Structures are given as structure tokens and as C-alpha cells.
Chain A
């Protein structure tokens, strides 16, 4: 039934708005003093408040509010001087109170925008800015465990009451190409993920559910009124997000083409079958009976608090990227990679801080090259990089001062990565990897190579420049890679041209 060729979907515009739940990295819950740590035994981190036992009351965590302010300032939003917590009433066994405390009419963060770089196959990367509608504080629900417990489901309320910042965009992704629309959505989500982790307000762990995206997807003919939207949930990786949006847009177009209409509903993405399916709707989802929570007075945030948070705000990715280009002479591409997440940026800055001035390009090449490759191969993140910034700086310092060449440096890096040693100098000394820059020693090697390769010498003299490279290679081989390549070049040319 679904068409096989993407071109069949031309003539449609896909419109996407995103809602992201970012778990805030507080130590305690939003309304109780229980820990938010992930992975504890069931219900051992559910306090009497999280369990909604009779007689309990919520008290708001200042740390959650502070993180919301931090986010709002980073996206250029208005921090509401007065916002209100409301009750969203519905029944579900993992929602202990029978209502979720959330913000409805007056959220704490209003407006703002987020810039991102859209990348994908078949087009040049481009910049896109997505406007934010709002971001509001709310509490997470618990979990229903569907394994068989005597024929029943189990309810674990450890997650109940974990602070969330729900970040809602305008439907600003409006693209006449399904794949491209999905690319834009993913670009936004990546940029948001990068920002919240950068700001230290969310650990960004998508597997543990710390960063959850829902996409509101609709389709229309360009210029027509907005179509009926479906909310796609369970997008717990960027790849799934892309797939789910593509699938959902196609599903909606197929429906309309077949003369049906799209029904507004919540759909769940199933990555195993690459399809979305209608969720058994939380009944009465449309009538949440919101009203201001009488247990909580309005949240007031004064100018002094906002300014204090502003002062503590780290340099934001966009500013840092621009500075790397302007002050350090990096390419925009390199600067972009180095500011993709806070850990990488910090690593880079730590490395160049320990090197002589002017080595930013060298450090950038290494971090975006060998270090990134090793991290990717190991399935790690920068936070889990076994070579510390100091370790890498120690290695690069030996490249800068000529102790080793780039090739040897790769060998030393591999040793550092393996954990066998933690300083480049130790590896260089113990393995005798010091570059041979002693002219006498090099001349001896060069002469030996020339004597052993008369054919190459002849070819070079006949004008074949390629033969020169073969001779350099031989010298390097003889020196076990330790010869100073520039010196080898100079001596060799001198001998051949004399």
C-alpha cells in the first residue's frame, strides 16, 4: 500500500512542531526530597509525596526553577515574573495523584528560539531557526511494567515526580520534502539536546528517557491551511525520530490520497516494524480539567534571580563557535564540531590551554580526527574518552617541539588510548620513539638508501618526481618512522641534486 518511490510524495508540504521533555538534572524531585537517580530498586525512590499518600503536599524545588531560567535565558526567551502551576487531571495507574502538576496558562519560559544546522544527503548544510512557543515545568509520571506479575502489571513510581522541562516549538518546520522535513526536525532536536546538556540542565541520556521528543506532524498542499496533526511519541533516538516522521508523513499522504482523512490522535512509533500506530488513547484526553493547583501559590521570579543565573550562564555554543573561528582561526566546520557538545568544547579548550599559543588548528585536527574516530569506534562519548585533555596536550606538545612526528604521534595516541601509559613522554621514552633529527644519523640512512635503490635514483634523475617519494618512504622505513620528515626531504634532495 505504501508507495515505494519517494518522488510519489512530491507536491506535499510537511509541517512539524516538536515537544520535548527534558528531565532536569536536579538531585531531588520537583516536589519532594526523594532522589532522582536512575535505576534504583522499584519504589525505593518514591517518597510519600511521590506516592500521593493521603495528607501529603508538594513543595517546589528551587533547582528545577533555576534550570528553567537557565534554559530560557539561553534561548532568548522571556522569564515570566509570575507563573502558575496547574493540575492536569486524568486517571492512569502510573500517575499517583490522578493529576499531573504542570504549567498551563502561564508557563515560566515564554518565547525564544533555537538555531540549528540542517545536514543530510544531497544538499549543502544550511542554518535554520525554530521559534519556541514556551517551556514549562512539570513532573514526570511513574512506569508501568508489563512483565507478568501474577497476571498483573507492576507499578514503579521511582520516576514519579522527576522534574521535566517541556519545550514546545512553533510549527516552524514547513518543508515540501518529507526527508528534508525530517532532517530539519532532527537538526532541531540535536541542537536542543546539545544545548540542554551544554547548559548542564539535563544529562541528555535518551536511552534512560532523560530527553524525549514528540513530533506533531501534519501534511498539506503548499499554501493550504494546516492539516490535521498527529502526535508521534516514543522517539527515543534521532534515527528513530527521522524514520518515524518520514513514515508518518507518508501515512498521512496515503490516507488523503485514498480519500480518507487524518484523525487527530497520538501515535506510537515502533522502530522494530518502522511504523506508527494509534495509541490506545488515554481516555478523555481532551478534557484534562486544568485549574490552578491550590497547594501551590504562583511562582515568582525576580529580576535579581534572573541576573544571577545570567551571570553564571556558560558561553553558549553559537558564541563559542564564532569565537573559535574569529580568534583561533579555525574553519567554521571545525568550530562547529568542537562546539557540538559541552564536553568536546571543554576538552578542546583544555588542550589548547596547555599548548603554546597558535596550536589551535593542530588540536582541532586531532580532536575532530583521531580522537573523534577512536571515540566513535568505541561507541563512547567525549565524557568517556580515556585520553585526558592533559594527556592529549602532552602528546601534541611533542609534535610541536619536534620530538615526534605526526605518524609516531598516532602510535603514541593508540598507546595512551589503550591505557597502558598515561603520558606521551613515558611512551616515547620507553619505546624509543624520539624523532631522529640528528643530521649525521640521517645522512647515513639516506646514503644507505640511495645505495640500495639505484633504480629509483635513476628514475628521479630522469624527471620522475614520484621516485623521490619512494625514496623518502624508504628512509622513513629504515628509521622506523622516527626520521624528521622535513630533514629527510632536505638531505635527500641535496644528495640527489648534487
Chain B
């Protein structure tokens, strides 16, 4: 299966650049051959602080302005790295959601589990009368 990334690599065929000396941390830029061939790539739309707040809310993570600010740079770095993947031609490729494929195995409709409530609730932060307690749920 030849895709256009492979063709790009063949076309570019750059020799490996000189390695950085010593034992540095290996920032992203230390892998020019590995990743710089991944052009042209539509530049990643940088996240904005309000995006981080929105995502944090979706994920139910309380996050301060400072944290959002700090996280923003890291997330943008990560998405910058991920961007390389998006240039690959995957036309017609079936997404692989599982390593082994195959079909789901089913179980018989039989009651096999008599729960031990005392044990199962033992780690509850708050409970009463066999219930988990939470701040008032408003309908």
C-alpha cells in the first residue's frame, strides 16, 4: 500500500542530520526526518484559553485561569505533533478500533451475581440507608 507520505519520503530522501551531542532531552525538533517530511500539513488551529475552559467543563475538571493558560501551551504543542498524522492519505482505510478484530462474545441471560452491597459501598464518600449520597440533584 503506497500512500502519498511514502512517496514524499522517497522523493525527499534526506540524510539524517547530525545528532545532538550528549544526552539531551529530545524535543520534537530532534526528529526532523521523522516528522518534517509530513508537509504540506494544514497548520493546526491553535486552541484559545476559552477553548481550554470549554473542554475542561465538558470533562468536568475545575481549572483556574492560570492552569488554563499553562495547559494551553502544552496542548498546542501536543496538537502540533498530532497534526503530522493528519497529512496521511487514508482514503478507503477502515478505522481500526481494536487490535484483533472479530465479533463480540455474548453471555447467557442468567443471574450470576448477587451483589454484596456492604462491600460494594464500603468506599463511598457518603452513604445512608444503602444509598450513595450526593449534593441535591435538581431535576
Q: List 8 A-B contacts (CB under 8 A).
A: A42-B129, A44-B117, A48-B115, A61-B106, A154-B131, A155-B131, A268-B139, A297-B98
Check A153–B106 contact: CB distance below 8 A: no
Check B139–A61 contact: CB distance below 8 A: no
Choose one: B58, B104, B111; the contact of A296 (CB below 8 Å).
B104
Check B138–A33 contact: CB distance below 8 A: no
Check A62–B103 contact: CB distance below 8 A: no
Which chain B residue lies CB-closest to A92? B137
Check B129–A289 contact: CB distance below 8 A: no
Question: Quick check: is B8 within 8 A (CB to CB) of the other chain?
Answer: no
Choose one: A45, A50, A93; the contact of B134 (CB below 8 Å).
A93
Check B133–A149 contact: CB distance below 8 A: yes
Contact (A279, B111) CB under 8 Å given A154-B128, A298-B103: no
A34 CA / B136 CA spacing, docked (Å): 28
Which chain A residue lies CB-closest to B123? A53
Give the contact-size bracket for chain A. 35 or more
Give the interface segment out of A24-32, A248-256, A307-315, A324-332.
A24-32
Check A297–B104 contact: CB distance below 8 A: yes
A47-65 residues with Cβ-Cβ distance < 8 A to B are 47-51, 53, 59-65
Question: Quick check: is B91 within 8 A (CB to CB) of the other chain?
Answer: no
Residues of A within 8 A of B129 (CB): 42, 149, 154
**Closest 8 CB pairs between A and B?**
A63-B109, A154-B131, A33-B112, A300-B103, A33-B113, A155-B132, A62-B106, A144-B137
Which chain A residue lies CB-closest to B58? A284
Residues of A within 8 A of B112 (CB): 28, 33
A33 CA / B105 CA spacing, docked (Å): 15
Check A149–B107 contact: CB distance below 8 A: no
A47 CA / B130 CA spacing, docked (Å): 14
Question: Quick check: is B101 within 8 A (CB to CB) of the other chain?
Answer: yes
Tell me the B residues contacting A by CB distance below 8 Å.
57-58, 60, 97-98, 101-115, 117, 120-121, 126, 128-139
Check B137–A297 contact: CB distance below 8 A: no
Question: Quick check: is A280 within 8 A (CB to CB) of the other chain?
Answer: yes
Check A47–B104 contact: CB distance below 8 A: no
Given contacts A62-B108, A85-B104, A294-B97, 12 further A-B contacts (CB under 8 A): A27-B111, A28-B109, A34-B115, A35-B114, A41-B117, A42-B129, A53-B120, A61-B106, A82-B103, A268-B139, A297-B98, A298-B103
Question: Quick check: is A12 within 8 A (CB to CB) of the other chain?
Answer: no
Check A298–B126 contact: CB distance below 8 A: no
Choose one: B103, B117, B120, B133; the contact of A153 (CB below 8 Å).
B133
Check B132–A32 contact: CB distance below 8 A: no
Check A154–B133 contact: CB distance below 8 A: yes
A152 CA / B130 CA spacing, docked (Å): 14
Question: Quick check: is A364 within 8 A (CB to CB) of the other chain?
Answer: no
Residues of B within 8 A of A49 (CB): 113
Chain B, interface SS category: loop
Check A43–B120 contact: CB distance below 8 A: yes
Residues of A within 8 A of B108 (CB): 61-63
Choose one: A26, A47, A280; the contact of B115 (CB below 8 Å).
A47
Check A44–B115 contact: CB distance below 8 A: yes
Most buried by B among A59, A145, A152, A284: A152
Question: Quick check: is A146 within 8 A (CB to CB) of the other chain?
Answer: yes
Contact (A298, B104) CB under 8 Å given A26-B109, A146-B136: yes
Choose one: B111, B128, B133; the contact of A34 (CB below 8 Å).
B111
Report B136 CB to chain A, min CB distance, Å.
5
Question: Quick check: is A240 within 8 A (CB to CB) of the other chain?
Answer: no
A1-31 residues with Cβ-Cβ distance < 8 A to B are 26-28
Question: Quick check: is A207 within 8 A (CB to CB) of the other chain?
Answer: no
Contact (A47, B109) CB under 8 Å given A91-B60, A297-B104, A298-B103: no
Question: Quick check: is A259 within 8 A (CB to CB) of the other chain?
Answer: no
Question: Quick check: is A209 within 8 A (CB to CB) of the other chain?
Answer: no
Residues of A within 8 A of B107 (CB): 33, 59-62
Residues of B within 8 A of A46 (CB): 115, 117, 120
Question: Quick check: is A287 within 8 A (CB to CB) of the other chain?
Answer: yes
Most buried by A among B60, B129, B131, B132: B132
A284 CA / B60 CA spacing, docked (Å): 11
Which chain B residue lies CB-closest to A48? B120
Residues of B within 8 A of A268 (CB): 139
Residues of A within 8 A of B101 (CB): 297
Report B107 CB to chain A, min CB distance, Å.
5
A34 CA / B114 CA spacing, docked (Å): 6
Check B58–A280 contact: CB distance below 8 A: no
Residues of A within 8 A of B97 (CB): 292, 294
Question: Quick check: is A179 within 8 A (CB to CB) of the other chain?
Answer: no
Which chain B residue lies CB-closest to A25? B109
Residues of A within 8 A of B115 (CB): 34, 43-48, 50
Choose one: B102, B110, B121; the contact of A33 (CB below 8 Å).
B110
